[in-house]
Structures are given as C-alpha cells and as structure tokens.
Copies of this chain bind each other. A is one copy, B any other.
Amino acid sequence: MTNLQVSICLLVDTFQKYASEDGKEHTLSKSEVKKLLQQELPEMLSGAKNQKDVDELIKGLDVDGDGEVDFIEFMILVASLGCAFRGLLPKKGK
C-alpha cells in the first residue's frame, strides 16, 4: 500500500475502533470522542486547563450540534490537526 492508502486506512480504523464501542459504529458519542482524544492525542487534552475546556473542545467537533461526531466531522478535526502539525495554512492565508 502507498503512504496515502496506509494513512486513510489508519484513520478509518481509528474512527471505527472508538465509534463501535457503543454499537453505533458510524458515530462517536461524547464519551467515545473523549476516549479517542485521551488515547490518540494525549497532548491535546493535557493542554486543557479544566473539564470545561475539554467539553468545549468536544462540543466544537460536533459541527451540526446533534450530540454525536460522525466520520466527516472527525475528518474536519484531522484536517485542522494536519494544518497545525505542519504549519500549513489553508490557501486563503497562504
């Protein structure tokens, strides 16, 4: 597999690993999101000063506000982290 194929498979596996815990494998519940962040992106939560910060962060991932994070909303998080990881600004800020 190419690097791009590997990365896509890892993303899908990661999403599915946490989303399927409650049996609803297409969405992450709030607790599943928190567990994903704690285990996959520990630095992200360690920067949060208190529980309110964590709740705000998780709330921000739920773009359509229905209390769950689906794969597309998860990919928005991944895209933002991708920009942050490499200091890549979307073209508008180029």
Contact = CB atoms under 8 A, between A and B. Distances in A.
The interface residues of chain A, by DSSP majority, are classed as: helix
Task: Count identical subunits in the complex.
Answer: 2
B79 A72 contact: yes
B12 A4 contact: no
A26 B75 contact: no
Interface string A44-85: 000000000000000000000010101110010011011101
Interface residues of A, number: 40
Contacts of A10: 3-4, 6-7, 10
Contact of A41 (B4, B68, B70, B82): B4
A90 interface: yes
